[in-house]
Every structure is written in structure tokens, then in C-alpha cells.
Structure 1
């Protein structure tokens, strides 16, 4: 498998999932600025939408969109319990979390990274994000991970996007449960491996 990624982007989430799963893969750096691979290939020929992540399977088929990719990865190694079994209510709760993170947290950061966002709108975006993160902080009380005691691919996704907060002046310092979660997930060997891999592009 090949994972097309860009350092600091949401592609860290499936990168974490691949290391947690222990699946062999090749990480391919795809610049979100130049939209080119290191060999000069036009990244739009890989993903016409131009963004990461993309997971290319050994068959040559490709998957876009992080929440779909991480579920595919989890389903390759069911014994790792990175996602509950398909068809169970727990699986729908996982999808609930993945959708919430995607639509309410991930997309919420978008305007803060966009230099074209009007300055008077950014405080509105920050306040909305902080409200969502504050709610998450409450959900993380008395549990290690989003689904309880078991790490899942939703945790890797939340870790990825919530870690952007300090870079765009979103204050989470008072959210003790979220901070503990970020430290807990960040200390996992697979997360450290993914972070290290992205510091040293392959």
C-alpha cells in the first residue's frame, strides 16, 4: 500500500492507523503547496481534488477521505481492535465520532489556516471550535479514549486535528481531559513512529 501524505496535514491520521495496524506501506510525500511528488509527478493525477490523504492499494485502486481510509485499514487487522466489527452498534458509534471530528473539528480549523479568511471572521471560527473542543473535553472525562478503554482509529484522527490548536491561537490549555488525551495518544509507539516518519520524508 502507498499512503500519499503531507507533513502537518490530516494524513497523519491514516499514517498513525497504518503503524497501529502494523501493515507494510510506503509513505509518499505529496506537497499541498506545489501539488507535486518528489519525482515531479503532478499530484492531481493521483487525486484530482489535490489534497491528502490518498491510500493506494496493491491492486492500484485508491481510497480518498481520511475517515474511509482509516476504517479500511482497521478492517484489515480486526484482531487489533482499531475499529469495532462492521454491523455492530459500536461501529456506528465509531462512525459517529469520525463524522463529528471531520465536520465539527477538522473543517472548523479550515478558515484559521486560510490566509484569505477575513480577520473579523477568525474570532467567530475560534469561538465555535473552542465550544466543540470544550464539549469533547467533557466527553473524555473518566475515559482514556473516545470509545472507552480501547484505542481506535477515531483517536488517531482526533489527536491529529486537535494538535493543530496551538498553531492557530485556539486555546485548549484549560481543557484538562483533552490535554491528557493528547499526551496519552502522543506517547503511543505507533504515533511516535508516524510522527518520526513524517519528519523524515521517504
Structure 2
């Protein structure tokens, strides 16, 4: 750098005495130059690095103000983890799974399609390995088939959870399977769960099983026999 610290020597070996404060100020001035900061991370990255450093220090063991020992380390870890979680949430937003509450089963401007049409589309997507689309269409086929059999009353804007709850009252022996199918659909269509052949087959098999099941009479407002 452009300064000599305390204790430096001249070319002839004579010591140079630089005041400590002057040396510190010179170092700070040198480090403020842009060349030292052009590759520095952003504010969030620096904060995350700081949190990770504090966690490492806590793991090594902290002392007093919280009582020292493992309890203090644990408390500090919890606080830092919460802070880190908040920072990441502010940066990346809420998880996609939050969309589940408003995710409609049938979307788009087109009119109602038959269960057979949805099944055909699901099979085509499955043959192409497009498992997420296959799962969507197969779940729609399952619910549309229940509407065609009047187990469910046709209703625009229905969610998979709502369809499963209503159908489960008319098909009580399969209520749990319907609820699981709705959760699977939501997790794939509106959450972050990857779709695969197993998920598609599970819905296709349930669709076939329900087609062979006779509904029971339920009070007005639910499914009908």
C-alpha cells in the first residue's frame, strides 16, 4: 500500500516512527479505494455471511450475558435463525404453496369439457412425460366424472379441496383417498412438489375406482345419489 506502518525501516536501516493513529487513518483511506470493493457482494449477501459467522461463533461456545455454555449458544442460534429466515423471506417472498388457498381446479375461458376429454389429454401428457400437466388433467377428469354422474353438482370456481370434501360425503369409503388426491394436486399444481408418473397413476387409479363405486344419499348441499 502507500504507507509505512509503525516499526518500518528506511533503506539505510534507520527506523521510521509513524504514529499509530496516522497509520490507521492511512490504512482506512487506502481501503476505501474502489478497487478493493468492485467485487463485493450486495447488502443481503453480506448480512447472510455475517449471520453465518455469528452462528459459527455460537457453535464454538458463547459466554456470559445469557448464562454461558450450551444454553447461550442454543438461544443465540435460534435468534439468528429467525433473523436469517426473515431476511430470506423478504428477499424471495412467500412460498408458492400459499397459492393453494385460491387455486381453482378448472381454469380458462373455455366451456366445460367431458371427463373423457380430460382423460385423453392426461394420457397424452403422460405419454410425452409432461407429468405436471398429466396430473392436472387427470384430477380434472376425476372431478368432471363425478359431476357427470351427479355425485357433484357442477360449480365453476371449485377447488380440488372443495371437490374432495363434497365427494367424500357421497363416497365415504373413499373420503380419505379423495382428500389425499386433492392435496397431491394442490402440491403439484400450486406448490413446489415435482410431478411424476406415480402421482399420475395414483389419480388415474382413483378415477377408475370411483367410477365403480355407488354413492350414498347425502343431505341437500352435498353430493347426490
Length-normalised TM-score, structure 1:
0.24
Larger radius of gyration: 2
The structure whose RCO (Cα within 8 Å, separation 6+) is larger is 1
Higher share in helix: 2
Q: Give the structure with the higher percent strand.
A: 1
